[in-house]
Structure 1
Amino acid sequence: MANTLNGTPPVFGRADARSWETVANGVRRQILTYDANTMLVKVDFDQGGIGSRHQHVHTQLSYVESGVFAVTVGDERQVLRAGDCFYAASNEWHGVECLEAGVLLDVFNPARTDFL
């Protein structure tokens, strides 16, 4: 990926040109594009995959592209399906459990430099 935090992201990106990183058992991510302010990440889950409960300074918006997920944000837990979404404010504890294999699209502000 040719992005830099100080540069301009490419106008177009091809999925086959980006690598996948395994981040947990049954969970892998693909950084789609980013600049200093925003990052778009695709996260692929096998059934039973866990996005461990965590927090970070970044604001996070997540869209369920496919599958079924039990999502916890703060003290609230809901089951979300394709087309649903959730918001995690800065430093808010959140996590997911994949109930049926699927994909989340995560948007972070600012970019998650720890992913690079």
Structure 2
Amino acid sequence: MSQSNLFQLEDQTDWQDLGNGISRKVYGYDDRIMLVKARFEAEAVGVLHEHHHAQVTYVDSGVFEMTIGTQKQIIKKGDGYYVPPHEIHGCICLEPGILIDAFTPLREDFL
């Protein structure tokens, strides 16, 4: 079974540069769940994509235009969203911000 350390400290967890104004930090995970922090610069685009994982996200900061399936919504600090497995989704960052994502099962492609 794959799993993270029990503690993930902010100042000891490195940002992974994904390019195009997006970076992420992988926090706690095991085979069933994963927590990820994603940082977006203004105008960065999380391209439309889908995956077999269920996803819930909390907007820690910033403003985003989020697309899930055929629906679009402007979301900001304190908002959240749910993405069912295999649903097309993506976002455009309108004001720099951070999204906190939880996935089940873990995103093996992030490790």
TM range, smaller chain: over 0.9
Task: Pick the aligned partner of 2:31 from 36, 42, 45.
Answer: 36
Gap runs ≥5 in structure 1: none
Which amino acid in structure 2 is aligned with residue 59 of structure 1?
A
The number of equivalent residue pairs is 111
Give 3-state SS (helix, strand or coil) of 2:109's partner.
helix
Structure 2 unaligned residues grouped into runs of 5+: none
Q: How does 1:80-91 map to 2 (within 5 A)?
A: 80-91=75-86
Question: Alpha-carbon deviation of 1:12?
Answer: 2.5
**Is the contact made by 1:24 and 1:50 (CA closer than 8 Å) also made in structure 2?**
no
Moved over 3 A (4+): none
Of residues 41, 47, 51, the one that matches 1:52 is 47
Picking from 64, 73, 80, the partner of 1:78 is 73
Q: Deviations over 1:57-92 (max 9, x none)?
A: 000101100000000000000000000011110000
- Inter-partner Cα distance in structure 1 for 2:5 and 2:17: 24
TM-score (norm 2): 0.95
CA RMSD between the two structures: 1.1
Tell me which residue corresponds to 1:69.
64
